[in-house]
């Protein structure tokens, strides 16, 4: 995993293709106020890691993973700025991203990504 902090505040949505391999990656860029949450959806594979990373004004962001039926699957609600959850099986999931600790009154940038992108 490459640290993304250098461009997080700009709110850029990144995407790239690896030539010849047919693989691509993309992440979700979000802007959240302290205490705010939002949802992102993705299709993940067994054991695929889903993580978030936030900018320098953020000291706590959380992830909660739900299956396609809205059932809780996993969460990382530790007091840190790099939560990771893992998909237990292949399928569609909803990821709740919670800004639990942002020091800036105008909000903080968060990138959500996974091993294979979504």
CATH number for position 63: 2.60.120.380
Q: Is residue 30 part of a domain?
A: no
Q: Percent of the chain at pLDDT above 90?
A: 75
pLDDT at position 5 over 80: no
Lowest mean pLDDT across 2-6, 18-22, 61-65: 18-22
Instruction: Judge whether 105 lies within some domain.
Output: yes
What is each CA distance from 26 to 4, 15, 70, 95, 100, in whole angstroms?
13, 4, 24, 15, 24
Q: Is residue 24 part of a domain?
A: no
26 in any annotated domain: no
User: Domain for residue 40, yes or no?
Assistant: yes
Tokens 């990504």 belong to which residue?
113
Residue 27: its pLDDT value, please?
Answer: 85
Q: Indicate whether 1 pLDDT > 60.
A: no
Is the pTM above the cut of 0.75? yes
**Residue 26 — very low, low, confident or very high, per pLDDT cuts 50/70/90?**
low
Residue 13 lies in a domain: no
Q: Is the pLDDT confidence value at 16 over 80?
A: no
Residue-wise pLDDT tens digits, 53-68 = 999 999 999 999 999 9
Q: 């790099």: which residue's tokens?
A: 82
Range of the domain at 41: 35-114
Structural domain count, the chain? 1
Q: What is the pLDDT of residue 15?
A: 32
Q: What's the pLDDT at 118?
A: 74
pLDDT at 23 over 60: no
C-alpha neighbours within 13 Å on the C-beta side of residue 12: 9
Tell whether 49 is covered by a domain.
yes
DSSP letter for each residue of 11-78: TPPPEEEETTTTEEEE-EEEEE-TT-EEEEEEEE-TT-EEEEEE-TTEEEEEEEEEETTS-EEEEE-S
**27 domain residue, yes or no:** no
């Amino acid at each position: 995993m490459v640290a993304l902090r250098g461009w997080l505040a700009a709110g850029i949505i990144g995407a790239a293709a690896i030539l010849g391999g047919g693989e691509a990656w993309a992440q979700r860029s979000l802007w959240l106020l302290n205490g705010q949450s939002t949802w992102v959806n993705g299709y993940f594979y067994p054991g695929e890691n889903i993580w978030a990373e936030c900018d320098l004004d953020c000291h706590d962001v959380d992830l909660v993973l739900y299956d396609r039926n809205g059932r809780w699957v996993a969460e990382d609600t530790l007091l840190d700025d790099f939560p990771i959850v893992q998909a237990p099986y292949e399928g569609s999931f909803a990821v709740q991203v919670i800004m639990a600790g942002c020091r800036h009154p105008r909000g903080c940038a968060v990138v959500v990504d996974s091993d294979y992108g979504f």
